[in-house]
Amino acid sequence: MSAAKNKLNHLAIIMDGNGRWAKKRHKPRAFGHREGMNNVQRITLAANKLGIKVLTLYAFSTENWARPKEEVAYLMNLPVRFFDKFMPTLQENNVKVNIMGYLDDLPKKTYDVVQRAMAETRDNTGLILNFAFNYGSRKEITTAVREIATLVSNGGLESDDITENTISEHLMTASFGEYQDPDLLIRTSGEMRISNFLLWQIAYSELAFSEKAWPDFNENDLKKFVENYQNRHRRFGKVDESDS
Ligand code: IPE
Ligand code: IPE
Ligand code: MG
């Protein structure tokens, strides 16, 4: 008897390997970031076609500020280029943009462009394209703990009433409701680590790693990873009849 296929509602991707992709081609790292940006468009449209509800893309971590100044400046300008180039297609495809991260720390131009992208697509009802930009999971959890502590000290919440749900509700993924935890997390470019991404939310995510650098990760690769995920056996700690 074949089991029912897993539904993929929330896909998260750690888009890694842009710099090495460029280096292999004797080009500056920025060249890889530009090609990586173009790939975001391709994979977004492919994810939309596959019926995915939320696509979370790790685009800039709270640790990435430690890169050379010119590279950080280039990465901070990428949202400006991306929305300039792709906003009409995103609109045509009913994509709703969300940016998750510490936005107040972004340069003004970047801040303005991401706020505008969210405002302009607010009423779209298709795929949610969620960029993690200046995002770090430990910082996110720390912020949540602080908010909850404030509620408790103000008398708005009893410490005994803090549940797992209370914590989820204070994370940046809260607005995705039943889809807030990724079903599948893919990291490209062969690294097998999480790099401070969605630590709470991936408790039961399926993990997958691609050897390809992000600019080379195409629609076909995505399809293969999704099919592989759909046929996995997710147990969530239980014993299924088919295992006993
Ligand atoms: C991913 O590619 C993009 C960001 C982290 C901003 P990298 O820039 O990390 O590329 P590699 O891993 O150095 O090749
Ligand atoms: C993770 O990639 C962050 C993003 C993809 C935005 P990094 O390239 O920064 O991660 P490490 O440094 O290899 O762990
Ligand atoms: Mg990297």
pLDDT band per the 50, 70, 90 thresholds, residue 89: very high
> Distance between CA 198 and CA 178 in Å, rounded?
16
pLDDT at residue 1 in the model:
52
Any residues with Cβ below 6 Å from ligand 1, and which? 15-20, 60, 64, 75, 189
Question: 115-144 pLDDT, tens per residue?
Answer: 999 999 999 999 999 999 999 999 999 999
Q: What is the DSSP letter of 5?
A: P
Q: Which ligand is nearest to the CA of 63?
A: 2
Q: How many residues does the chain have?
A: 244
- Ligand 2 atom, smallest distance to 64 CA: 9
Q: What is the pTM of this model?
A: 0.97
Give the residue among 94, 100, 93 at the shortest CA–CA distance from 62: 100
* Average of per-residue pLDDT values in the chain: 97
CA of 163 to the centre of ligand 3 (A): 35
Tell me what pLDDT residue 241 has: 74
Q: How far is 195 from 180, CA to CA, in rounded Å?
A: 19
In tens, the pLDDT along 48-76 reads: 999 999 999 999 999 999 999 999 999 99
Q: Which uninterrupted H or E stretch holds 240?
A: none
Residue 197 Cα to ligand 2 middle (Å)? 9
Cβ–Cβ under 8 Å, residues 188 and 212: yes
Residue 7: DSSP 8-state:
P
Q: Is 102 helix (H, G, I), strand (E, B) or coil?
A: coil
Written as one string, the DSSP assignment of 193-217 is ---SS-TTTTTT-EEEE-SS-GGG-
